[in-house]
Amino acid sequence: MEAQIESQGLSRRKFLKLGGGITFLVTAVGLPALVFKKGEMAETKQISAWVHLSEDGTVTIYNPASEMGQGTMTALAAIFAEEMDADWSKVIIENAPVEPEIYGIGWGGERGGSMLTVGSRSVSGHYNNLRQSGAQARYVLLTAVAEKWGVDRKELKTESGMVFHPQSNKKISYGEIVGFVKIPEPVPEIPDSDLKNPKDFKLIGKDYQRYDVPFKVDGSAIYSGDVHVPEMVYAAIARAPVNGTQPELQNEAAIRKIKGVLDLVSLKHGIGVIASSMETALNAKAKMEITWKGEPKAKSHNSQDAYIEYEELSKSSQIGSIVAQAGDLNRELPKSQKVIRADYKNDYVYHAQMEPLNAVAHVTADSAEVWVGTQAADGTRNDVANHLGIDFKAVNLHTCYLGGGFGRRSMTDFVIEAVDISKAVHRPVKLQWTREDDLQYGAFRPISLQKLEAGIDQNGNINSWKHVVIGTGGGLLGSGADIPFYDIPNKLIEVRNIDHGVRTKHWRAVGHGPNKFAIETFIDEIALDLKKDPYQLRRELMKDHPRELAVLDKVAEMANWGSTVPDGRARGIAFAERSGSLAAGVCEISLNKSTGKIKVHKIWGALDGGVVVHPENAKYQMEGSLVMGLSSVLFESITFKDGKVEQSNFYDYPILRMEDAPEEIILEIIPSTEKPTGIGEAGLPFMGAIISNAFASLTGKRLRHMPFTPEKVLAII
Amino acid sequence: MQYSFILNGKSVQITAEDDANLLWTLRERLKLTGTKFGCGVSLCGSCTVHLDGKSIKSCITALSQVEGKKVTTIEGLSEDRSHPLQVAWIEEQVPQCGYCQSGQIMQAAVLLAENANPNREEIIKHMNGVLCRCGTYLRILKAIEKTTQKA
């Protein structure tokens, strides 16, 4: 069997080299065992790195991206299956081995980058490669059949897992080809002209079910916390309440005496307790008395005071990092007939993915085996290897479903912890973070103050635009701050950063959430000031941007913008782009004036995401992202006092519950033949603005600080 | 300590520590991992199971509290995803990340057992304790309503 695997592996490697655009050295690493299931060798064939075909016709397609709820494991396989012309009912989807040279993508969509699943880039990044790879798999099958039947390959047709030769009326199923298929050398790149005509697509752009759904209604989907390894023990960690402080355990003897406690492991940022059961690990952790040493920068951080620091920094004549610039703002702004100014604020927000961080690790003398749900598959494998000083190949990483990612699981801190503990105790370890750990040792979407100024000329047009984002989080602050679709001749958009020493991280849509809130609310304020309809003002600004305009017009049409709204309700409108996708939204709200609670009744949304591979799921992603966005806009705030996070669980960090979900969400996708763009975050950025704009329309008062809690609402009405 | 209870229709006897809790016993001792840990303090509902037909949060339930009683988990709701809610969940394509969905379905199952025809307000009131971060609430509502309409 081993020899067979080896010889099979050789031809596969050559195929990979020629067809996959990767080097022999890299593919010589070999693919992990899951590709060749022992005992199946006679009946199955590895057609390419992307697919495994069985004699019974089962087609196993490898999923190169993390599945965290966004549904791309299905969409990516559908792209491949489309060009292979596989029978979709016989498709099985498995996570690809963590081999970035084969399954990664670069930021331009080129093969062999990283397997990082972020920025809504999975479908847009893999689209061309997977069409090509699917077409190559089909080519391999057709070549084998052509040789077998002694006919020209070009006379063969395929449909849904079958090859036909119309002239002779012969047909054969893909599964039957397994018995005689050879991997031809070389497998050529299939020219675009030989790819399917989009009008013949059977999957792309059609309705089909998500592959993962059945496993998520019976509890059988495996997340990393569900993994059991023989001899496994349990670990919990008490982590630094102030980032950068170091632990000194005061009651070590007492903790070690707890029945079931096996060991304690000192880490730089905390102390791990290892126990024979999960309960004992969690209880012992709670009993640890730790003195935290050190005076790190974070210790002086008080988040509500930070807004004052930002205000001070905004007055500096020193320009920060420039996001975008046009014309000459400093010359033109003072010439304006009128200058409109407004400030916006947003607190830190927490990922709150439903599955608290966890990982299973087993470190031995010269290797490591890890089970984790991660957005950074190869990044994790790499970080573990580097951390342990072992080879990348010596780390066997099993990727699992993610119980939500939203950016938090693109970090590898929790995996390295599990690795450190397993290494220290020489046992496989399941590390579980509590909700409190997950929240208090979170890495948050940055806090920021946004200062906007618009110069209005004598014709009532916006001729200058200044936007300064001041916050903590460096590069996270600037995303979405530019407004390339609004033609304003003079603009200056910049980011100023103060490092408070606390942990910040990408959070679904990154800076787009806060920045589009500020921009799109400001547009509304300008419209009010100029006595223009906010929809019409946006139309004027984007009149030379037809795609953007079509999205805005679509949502206005869907909501019948300008029509009469029921008593006690009002509407807001906004536009935002994210990951190349264009989105616009309208909401209809009411207000309980005694409690200060905003109720969102309806949201309409329009989306242009280029070619949409899985429209039902794309809409559902938009629905999910606008509900998550609404949650952040209405409820979510992390505050720091003397460097400590003041919240700890869902009672003081509420996220949106069913009672606060919109009553109705109506979404449309604009048909397009443009290249696919990222969809998983596109519904989120406009949420702050549509709520603030509707609220202003309802009450005449402006909400400029997210979240719009009842206390803030009551304070202004 | 020795514990015994009925789990998904079968009698279970296990030995565990005094501090054993239902959630971690299901997940780690019995390897029924469909029931999830979300908050540990009964705020999110990811760990919802049935105890003698009522929904409870297994994360705050000591194992001693289920002694001699009937516990049902998502794995015991049906053998083949055939419970009407599971069928509706698939038809409506409800789950995204899926982590909360066992809890959602178990919570919904209790409502339907008690009230065959709940209105929307009753559904929301009953389901409000189970959090979802992906924003699947409207499809959950739809799936429950579809189930009651069929019944």
Phi first, then psi: what are they for A431, rounded to 5°?
-100, 125
A438 occurs within a structural domain: no
Whether A409 and A273 share a structural domain:
yes
Whether A343 and A389 share a structural domain:
no
**Cβ of residue B137 closer than 8 Å to a chain A Cβ:** yes
Confidence class of residue A456 from pLDDT cuts 50, 70 and 90? very high
Mean pLDDT of A554-577: 98
* CB-based contact A404 B133, cutoff 8 Å: yes
β-partners of residue A53 are: A45, A59
**Tens-of-pLDDT digits for all 151 residues of chain B?**
999 999 999 999 999 999 999 999 999 999 999 999 999 999 999 999 999 999 999 999 999 999 999 999 999 999 999 999 999 999 999 999 999 999 999 999 999 999 999 999 999 999 999 999 999 999 999 999 999 988 7
Whether A88 and A236 share a structural domain:
no
**Confidence (pLDDT) at A43:** 59
Whether A57 and A135 share a structural domain:
yes
Which ranges of A530-611 does DSSP label H, i.e. alpha helix? 534-541, 546-559
Which ranges of A389-471 does DSSP label H, i.e. alpha helix? 413-425, 435-440
Mean pLDDT of A458-482: 97
Residue A584: its H or E element: strand A581-592
Rounded to the nearest angstrom, the minimum Cα separation between B6 and chain A is: 19
- Among A215, A235, A269, identify where a domain stops: A215
**Confidence (pLDDT) at A566:** 97
Tokens of A329: 């703002």
**Confidence (pLDDT) at A188:** 87
Q: Is the predicted pLDDT of residue A577 greater than 70, yes or no?
A: yes
**Confidence (pLDDT) at A29:** 27
Whether A398 and A471 share a structural domain:
no
pLDDT, tens digit (0-9, with 9 covering 90-100), for A607-625: 999 999 999 999 999 999 9
A468 occurs within a structural domain: yes
Q: Which CATH superfamily is domain B2-76 in?
A: Beta-grasp domain (3.10.20.30)
- Among A182, A215, A248, identify where a domain stops: A215
Q: Is the predicted pLDDT of residue A25 greater than 60, yes or no?
A: no
Mean pLDDT of A203-214: 97
Q: Which domain holds residue A47?
A: 2-215
A439 occurs within a structural domain: no
A699 occurs within a structural domain: yes
* CB-based contact B94 A213, cutoff 8 Å: yes
Cβ contacts (< 8 Å) between B130 and chain A: which residues?
A: 658
Average pLDDT score, chain A: 93
Interface of B with A in 44-83 (CB under 8 A): 44, 46, 73-75, 77-78, 81
User: Please, are residues A49 and A124 in contact by the beta-carbon 8 Å criterion?
Assistant: no
* CB-based contact B135 A627, cutoff 8 Å: yes
Domain total of chain A: 3
pLDDT, tens digit (0-9, with 9 covering 90-100), for A640-654: 999 999 999 999 999
A406, exposed or middle or buried, with CB in 10 Å at 0-12, 13-18, 19+? buried
Cis previous bond, A188, omega within 30: no
Secondary structure of residue A596 in the 3-state scheme: coil
- % pLDDT > 70, chain A: 94
Q: Is the predicted pLDDT of residue A8 greater than 60, yes or no?
A: no
Q: Is the predicted pLDDT of residue A523 greater than 50, yes or no?
A: yes
**Beta-carbon count within 10 A of A167 CB:** 10
Mean pLDDT of A323-340: 97
Q: How far apart are CA A613 and CA A615, in angstroms?
A: 6
Mean pLDDT of A189-217: 97
**Lowest mean pLDDT: which of A107-111, A332-336, B37-41?**
A107-111
Confidence class of residue A44 from pLDDT cuts 50, 70 and 90? low
Whether A382 and A479 share a structural domain:
no
Cβ contacts (< 8 Å) between A619 and chain B: which residues?
A: none
A437 occurs within a structural domain: no
Whether A250 and A208 share a structural domain:
no
Cβ contacts (< 8 Å) between A278 and chain B: which residues?
A: 24, 27-28
Whether A412 and A554 share a structural domain:
no
Q: B84-150 maps to which CATH number? A: 1.10.150.120
Query: Residue A396 is part of a domain; what is its CATH number?
Result: 3.30.365.10
Confidence class of residue A501 from pLDDT cuts 50, 70 and 90? very high
β-partners of residue A261 are: A275
Confidence class of residue A111 from pLDDT cuts 50, 70 and 90? confident
Count how many Cα atoms sit within 13 Å of the Cα of residue A232 in the half-sphere of its side chain.
Answer: 25
For residue B25, what are the CA distances in angstroms to A200, A646, B5, B76, B115? 52, 32, 12, 16, 31
A93 occurs within a structural domain: yes
Count how many Cα atoms sit within 13 Å of the Cα of residue A426 in the half-sphere of its side chain.
Answer: 1
**Confidence (pLDDT) at B64:** 97
Whether A106 and A151 share a structural domain:
yes
Q: How far apart are CA B48 and CA B3, in angstroms?
A: 20
Contacts of B9 (CB under 8 A, 6+ apart): B76
Whether A531 and A592 share a structural domain:
yes
pLDDT, tens digit (0-9, with 9 covering 90-100), for A352-408: 999 999 999 999 999 999 999 999 999 999 999 999 999 999 999 999 999 999 999
pLDDT, tens digit (0-9, with 9 covering 90-100), for B37-67: 999 999 999 999 999 999 999 999 999 999 9
Gyration radius of chain A over CA positions: 28
A340, exposed or middle or buried, with CB in 10 Å at 0-12, 13-18, 19+? middle
**Confidence (pLDDT) at A110:** 87
* CB-based contact A71 B96, cutoff 8 Å: yes
At A210, the amino acid letter reads: R
- Among A432, A460, A485, identify where a domain stops: A432
DSSP letter at A376 equals B
- The angle that helices B101-114 and B137-150 make with each other, rounded to 10 degrees, is 30
Q: Which residue has the tokens 């610039």?
A: A325
pLDDT, tens digit (0-9, with 9 covering 90-100), for A398-440: 999 999 999 999 999 999 999 999 999 999 999 999 999 999 9
Whether A97 and A78 share a structural domain:
yes
Q: Report domain extents, chain B.
A: 2-76, 84-150
Cβ contacts (< 8 Å) between A212 and chain B: which residues?
A: 95, 98
Whether A402 and A462 share a structural domain:
no
Substitution target in A279, A433, A434, A655 with the highest count of B β-carbons within 10 Å is: A279
Tokens of B125: 């009131």
Q: How far apart are CA B49 and CA A115, in angstroms?
A: 36
* CB-based contact B97 A402, cutoff 8 Å: yes
**Confidence (pLDDT) at A108:** 86
Cβ contacts (< 8 Å) between A628 and chain B: which residues?
A: 133-135
